[in-house]
Each structure stands twice: as structure tokens, then as C-alpha cells.
């Protein structure tokens, strides 16, 4: 009895997975994309910056697509910025960050716009933009 119930559950799970794949294909989403080493490094760096990053303000100098997408939802952008850390350090770097079309369409990600930023304390060339700076 238990075995049959488990087999039914497995069959239902397989059907649900097949339906999800079919729906994703109809919507043009590539669910076969798997994270590569660069994606894994990006995730680890983002986590580190979120928890222990140095705060500051970044001014966008230029922005452009890299051609990389994140599961078909977000696009990666190379954002050239001038960073001013709260401790007084000022320098230029390039931020690689995934953004949605809505975020880009908002008009916030343009040259001259200022964002709150957090920087990797061990490698100040690595940073992430957060909300608009006041």
C-alpha cells in the first residue's frame, strides 16, 4: 500500500515537472540554463558584500549589456562607476550586476545617477549597487 502511494506521488511529480517545462517553453524561458563557475562566484561575492560590505556612494559613468542573462529574467550589465567610500577612499571601477528590464526602464540606471553602494572589503574593485543615493 505504501509503495503504491509513493509511486503515485512520483508519477504526479514527474507530470508536474513535465507541465512546468512545457509552460516555460511556451513562455520562452530557458530552464535548462545552469549556473556556471562565474555565476557561483558572483553569488558568493554578492552574499559577502551584503553582509560585510563597506558602504559608500557610486556615480554611474556608463552602462552596457554584457550579453549574459540570468535564467532569461535579468540581463547582466557592466556599469562603470566612480565610488566614494564613507572612509574617504575614491576610485573608479566596473560593477557587474544583473538587472531586470523594469529596472533599466525606470531611468535610474543612467550616467550621472548616484547609488548607495557596498564594496568587498578584501577587493574594492568588487561592488554592488543598491538603492538611489539621496
Q: What pLDDT digit, counting tens, does each position of 76-126 carry?
A: 999 999 999 998 899 999 999 999 999 999 999 999 999 999 999 999 999
Measured CA to CA, the distance from residue 56 to residue 95 in angstroms comes to 14
DSSP assignment letter at 35: -
Instruction: Evaluate if residue 7 carries a pLDDT over 70.
Output: no
For residue 32, pLDDT beyond 60: no
- C-alpha cell of residue 57: 556612494
Exposed, middle or buried: residue 103 (CB in 10 Å: 0-12, 13-18, 19+)? middle
What percentage of the chain carries pLDDT values higher than 70?
74
Distance between start and end Cα atoms, the chain: 64
The C-alpha cell at 115 is 547609488
- The domain spans of the chain are 1-32, 37-132
Q: Cβ(49)–Cβ(120) under 8 Å?
A: yes
Q: Which of 105, 101, 83 is nearest to 92 (CA)?
A: 83
The DSSP result for 58-107, as a single string, is: EEEEEEEEEEEEETTTEEEEEEEEEEEETTS-EEEEEEEEEE-HHHHHTT
Query: For the domain bounded by 37-132, which CATH number is listed?
Result: 2.40.50
Stated pTM of the model? 0.70
Amino acid at each position: 500500500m505504501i509503495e503504491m502511494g509513493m509511486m503515485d506521488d512520483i508519477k504526479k511529480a514527474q507530470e508536474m515537472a513535465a507541465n512546468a517545462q512545457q509552460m516555460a517553453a511556451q513562455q520562452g524561458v530557458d530552464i535548462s540554463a545552469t549556473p556556471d563557475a562565474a555565476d557561483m562566484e558572483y553569488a558568493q561575492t554578492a552574499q559577502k558584500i551584503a553582509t560585510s560590505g563597506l558602504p559608500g556612494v557610486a556615480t554611474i559613468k556608463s552602462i552596457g549589456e554584457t550579453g549574459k542573462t540570468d535564467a532569461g529574467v535579468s540581463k547582466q550589465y557592466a556599469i562603470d562607476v566612480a565610488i566614494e567610500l564613507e572612509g574617504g577612499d575614491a576610485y573608479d571601477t566596473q560593477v557587474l550586476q544583473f538587472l531586470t528590464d523594469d529596472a533599466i526602464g525606470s531611468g535610474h540606471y543612467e550616467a550621472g545617477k548616484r547609488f548607495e553602494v557596498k564594496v568587498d572589503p578584501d577587493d574594492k574593485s568588487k561592488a554592488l549597487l543598491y538603492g538611489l543615493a539621496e
